[in-house]
Structure 1
Amino acid sequence: METTAPRASKSSFNAIFRISDLCKVISVGAPPVSLKPKPNNPKDPAFSEEEAILLKLLDSISSLKLAYVQLQQAHIPYDPKKIKNSDKLITSQLESLSKLENLYNEKLTDKPKSETSVSLKIKEHEKLLVVLQSIVHDKESENERLRLEIHKLERENSELNENIEKNPSCKRRLNLVNRELTPNLFAEAVSFASRSLHDFTKPLISLMRVSGWDLDSAVRCMYTETVFHERSHKKFAFDSYLSRVMLSGAHEKFISMDHFDRVMGILDPFEVLITDPNSEFSMFCREKYLDAIPKEMEDSFFGNLDHRAFLMSGGHPRTPFYEVFVKMARWVWALKVMSLTFIPKAEIFYVREMDQFNNDFMESVVDELTPKRGQTSKVGFTVMPGFKIGENVIRCRVYLSKS
């Protein structure tokens, strides 16, 4: 899959190349000599103050270039501490360059600037400073936006944890390790997977909103005939999108019961990705992230495609967003493993938009919308698919359209 560099990269590399041009020292009337450095004697008449300042200027520009490269590297992976240190180093180098310019103006005021090569270099450098300062400002703005978004996600997670603590029923944990696979256990796993998909949809919608996405238009594109009872119910459309993407396709290549106990028995599933980045579960996470988060969406979220690039290179980015995705993906992967283990295999089914509601195979995601006996209702869309294991049916979860 095609990847692109971060938005600021093109202007950033242009700036670096322009710095490199300044660092190419042109010989002034001297014959070629050995490449071995020869110390200059400041008392030598040939060694003027102008040349001394020029050497310091070139040295400072080289240091500035190195500091900027370090700033770029600190973004992949994203490291706030390294970014802060690199930013300080760049500021320090810019201050040094400003002092050199002032020194030049003080020491060489008796010479017309147009007569010296240093004056021309300084003019070029002043233009370059404007470019670099603009790039640094853009990076700082992007970092601030990401910090605010991370704080928002952390606050939402904190609120979610508080709600879990207040609700005893949410404290229940499902242990799938060394358990006999029965339709009842599978039904519980479906419930946990549905909840995890919904939990991931929350930060996904938040990122779409702050990134300027038109959520109403996105919902209309997915479901053209559904009429929502309340505006807040449109969140179920994104649950539906996510469940379809995550559960679609044949993933036998990602299935291993031996690997199952290890993935489901560990507290943090990301540890599996670190210790075995090419395991069945790792490959599932990698492929499904690329399917669920299109590159246009990722670019609008983070201003770059670093997540995709890292995944496609064989790694797993340890970012808050991807960690939440992996926690959700674990339950979907567990469903895929369990569904292929039954004999006969568990069959997945969906309900089409505007089909008639049937209580034997469906349940409403909004209890208040469940039709009474004798009433009829149309299905807007399937939020979470259902499964059939032999004669056992695990009902799908649907959103019912307003008449």
Structure 2
Amino acid sequence: MDWKSAIHLRRRRRQSATVADDDDENDITEIKLPKKLQEYFSHPLDSSVKTFQETKDEHDLAMLHSLLAELFAGVAAVKSAYAELQLAQSPYSIDSIHAADRSLVSELKYLSSLKRSYLKDPLSLSPSNSYQQSQLRELKELIKTFKINISRLESEQQSKDSQVESLRSDLDEIERENRSLEYQLLIKTNSHHHISGLNPTHFLPELRLTVKRVRSFARAMMKSMESSKLDLNSAAGAMYPNIVPDTKNLLFFFQSFVSHKMFSGFHHPDFNLGFLESRSNRSREEFFREFNDSKLLSSSQFLDRWGDFVRAKFSAMVHPKIDPGSDLFPRFVEMARRVWILHCLFFYFSGSEFSGSIFRVRSGCRFSEVYMESVAVADLDPVNRYSTPTVGFTVVPGFRFGSTVIQCKVYLSHHNTIIPDVLKKKKKKKILLYQMMMNDNV
């Protein structure tokens, strides 16, 4: 190769290199262009992927909520079906038992199918009801269960009421038998001297029975007031404003109040009640016959015969606004019967050599062991022996038949238990309230 050919070849190589450089620049530009596009579209693409993922998570969460709601609804349905099954067994009903059993099995099968589907593929599980529908179903099943429980409790209450009525009937029968035996015993005891053989010693057992009924009613009245959210201490203070009520002796306050009302007019043959005026002309023998007849009467029979007397005494003692309750009035009727019996025996002695009288001791009088008996043992303990015991109020009246004295029962009040005049004004509003409640001006 001559030198001309070599120069020509070298020149061609330079041109080829120049073209190649230009081509390389174009190639680099083409490679960078997709990277810029990728950078340009990178953010919108990531946002779309994220939105898609959030949508999928929300769907899965909603499906899980629906599943749990359906599960709770199924459990509530099982409880409801089981409650129906229990209710159908008492009283026994074969049709109701079969229906409740089918319902219970159906709900258990449905819960079992939910469990199998969830274990197989949790994400593919789709409950038949929506979240709100499942919640509504659960509430309906709970209401159904509550209604079944109410029906069961009502049935139990009816059964208990029947037992109570049966026991009351048995009790009335036993009381009638007891009164019959008492009457036969009384006849046998006095068969040799008849009516003329009666003396004040026969009055004391009847008085004790009457006082027992008075105390029983006083307790029932206190319970009734407590259930009505009334303050017993304030009520006791309203009865006797000058005496500081002692919590452990509150029963004596109420017993005194009841006794005062029940023995009001006791010294009159007609209890100083206009509708009993015909009793004023009765003889001693008639009172004695009525005494025996009344002892044989049950409480309901006595109420039928002397209902006006019972209602008059009850309205004088209990304010109309106070609910007597299921237990209060029957106790009152029995107490009124015992007072009536004692009243008949009391007037049998009137006009005889044992002509009777009833007495109470005024508040503030000195205590006398001849005519009085203290109801609270602590009133006469050594701690208080240097103080002067005075009568706070009479709990049970006393009786006198000729030279025989039956002591009255009193609640004693020492000098340190009297409320000062300064404190009386502060209690005035409460006292007026409870006086209105008791329908009495103490």
TM-score category, normalised to shorter length: 0.3 to 0.5
TM-score by length of 2: 0.44
Q: Decide which structure has greater helix share.
A: 2
- The higher radius of gyration belongs to 2
TM-score by length of 1: 0.47
